[in-house]
Amino acid sequence: MSKRFFGTDGVRGTVGSDPMTADFAMRLASAAAQVLVPRGGTVVIGKDTRLSGYLFESALEAGFVAAGADVLLLGPLPTPGIARLTQELNADLGVVISASHNSFVDNGIKFFDGGGSKLSDEVEQRIEERLDAPAITLESQSLGKAKRIDTALIRYQKFCASSMPDGLDLAGLKIVFDGAHGAGYKVGPRTLGILGADVIPIGCSPNGRNINEGCGSTQPELLQLTVPAVRADVGVALDGDGDRLAMVDEHGTLVDGDQLLYVLATARKERGGLAGPVVGTVMSNLGLEHALRARDIEFRRAAVGDRYVLETLRDSGGVLGGETSGHMIVLDKATTGDGLISALQVLAVMKRKGRPLSALVAGMPKYPQTTVNVRTEKRLDPGRSPAIRDAVAAAEDELADTGRVVLRASGTEPVIRVMVEGENEEQVVSLAERLASVVAESAD
């Protein structure tokens, strides 16, 4: 199935360039309304803190109202909060205006269905089929209306706090919270504070242009310096739209999504609350798989993208999944990846066990992993090249049971990502470079 505009996480691009224009946003809203809200209904719209959010909020509002849908405007709110309020407000569709961890010059639009889940590829395809037509405008008596929901932040804050296990709070924990100058800049510190933590906020002063700039889960260096400097117990970092999580232990050491998944899975296993397999992706560190296997926890790999992790969880009956990047899914707490809720679950384990984060992750070794991006003149399927297949087979034979090789084409650009992982870092780097050379030669 080929889609022109929807990627793995909605539509995204540079503001002012196709498709991120006001005209496209209106047509997208009109098409989505015709497919998903054909007889009128309710749509909620939320956004992160980018300056261009005002532009797209207005364009989407106009497109939906003109097509007969009522619109509820939530204002700045993390992506998972918008998914939650889509359910709570009995809306038919949730719309997020965000480019996640990208800089402020980009923006994006993604959707949730009435159940707070991302749309299927098939539904996105149906929306795309209508995008070449102008936005529709119904007669006056059939138009929708719009209003702002002033309680959105409080509603989501209460929902996040309620995800903490009964009887547990965060009293006694000193936490540095990095909001990436993004959608979680208010709700993160407030929720942690309400639960009793001593909170030191950084990256919580958005100006419309500084989202993800030198802060947040994708640039955690400031958090790593701040945690030991203020003698905090732990650091928590979200990305711009609040669905990605990174944490920092008491020493300032970064703890990634694989390690956090290990902490949650082993804690649940000990308490008898782990259902189904734990789901990662083809890029999840081999150390996670081996550490879970040693504790009799089944591990499965999905394609890269939190939507595919979610699909695998639902198909297998699992509740815990995530990506190395920090897209964590705790399916019995939220319908989609939620950075703040995932952080609260890790903090609950720390509080219950009375152990620092560094001790909780010590049982999972991280194998050396190298990724080389090979740019090609045109899109290339590495699995169709005999030379690449032979090179991969030779590398896998050399690694035996001590490593993995993954080659995958980028979904957004003509790039082949060559990933090699194993116990020996020198061997891993050498094999990655060798495979990248073969891919480059095959692409000529």
Question: Which residues are identified as catalytic?
Answer: 100
Interatomic CA distance for residues 155 and 161, integer angstroms: 10
The dihedral built from the CA positions of residue 4, 10, 16 and 21, taken in this order, carries a sign that is positive
End-to-end CA distance of the chain: 27
3-class secondary structure, 251: coil
216 phi/psi in degrees, rounded to 5 = 85, 180
Closest residue by Cα to residue 367 from 316, 419, 330: 419
Distance of CA 437 to the CA centre of its chain: 32
Contacts with 110 (C-beta within 8 Å, 6 or more apart), sequence order: 9, 10, 11, 79, 95, 96, 98, 118
3-class secondary structure, 88: helix
Residues paired with 118 in a beta bridge: 112
Q: Copy the structure tokens of residue 405.
A: 């090789």
Q: What is the dihedral of CA 23, 306, 384, 1, to 10 degrees?
A: -40
Angle at the Cα of 234 from the Cα atoms of 101 and 258, rounded to 5 degrees:
55
